[in-house]
Structure 1
Amino acid sequence: MNRVIATLLGIIFAMTANAEEEKGIIGRVYEDGLPVIYKFVNELPQDSVRSNLSWLTVISWKYDGESNNGMPLNDENQSMIVLEDAIEDHIEKDQVLRHVYSRTGNNLKELVYYIHDQDKFLEAFNKALSGHPRYPIEINFYQDAEWEDFKRLLNDFETAANK
Structure 2
Amino acid sequence: MVGEYFENGFPVIVKFVSELPAKGIVSKMKWFTVISWNYDGSQNNGMPPEAINQRMLLLEEALDKAFRNGKITHHAYNRTGNSLKEFNYYISDRDKFMSRFNSALAKHERYPIEINFYEDPDWSEMNRLIEDFKPKQ
TM-score normalised by L of structure 1: 0.82
**Cα distance, 1:90 vs. partner?**
1.6
Match of 2:43 in 1: 67
Match of 2:78 in 1: 102
**Cα distance, 1:91 vs. partner?**
2.2
**Cα distance, 1:128 vs. partner?**
0.5
Listed as ranges, the matches of 1:13-92 within 5 Å are 25-92=1-68
SS in 2 for 1:130: coil
Of the two structures, which has the highest relative contact order with CA contacts closer than 8 Å and spacing of 6 or more?
2
For the pair 1:129 / 2:92, whether they are aligned, the reply is no
Rounded to whole Å, the distance in 1 between the matches of 2:101 and 2:129 is: 25
SS in 2 for 1:93: coil
Match of 1:150 in 2: 126
**Cα distance, 1:41 vs. partner?**
0.5
**Cα distance, 1:96 vs. partner?**
2.0
Q: Which has the higher strand share?
A: 1
Gaps of 5+ in 2: none
Match of 1:162 in 2: 136
Q: Give the AA of the match of 1:162.
A: K
Indicate if the aligned counterparts of 1:56 and 1:114 stay in contact, CA closer than 8 A: yes
Indicate if the aligned counterparts of 1:41 and 1:100 stay in contact, CA closer than 8 A: yes
Indicate if the aligned counterparts of 1:91 and 1:128 stay in contact, CA closer than 8 A: no
Query: Alignment length, in residue pairs?
Result: 137
For the pair 1:115 / 2:91, whether they are aligned, the reply is yes
TM-score normalised by L of structure 2: 0.97
Rounded to whole Å, the distance in 2 between the matches of 1:92 and 1:58 is: 17
Rounded to whole Å, the distance in 2 between the matches of 1:151 and 1:67 is: 33
Q: Give the AA of the match of 2:33.
A: T
Identity %: 50
**Cα distance, 1:93 vs. partner?**
2.3
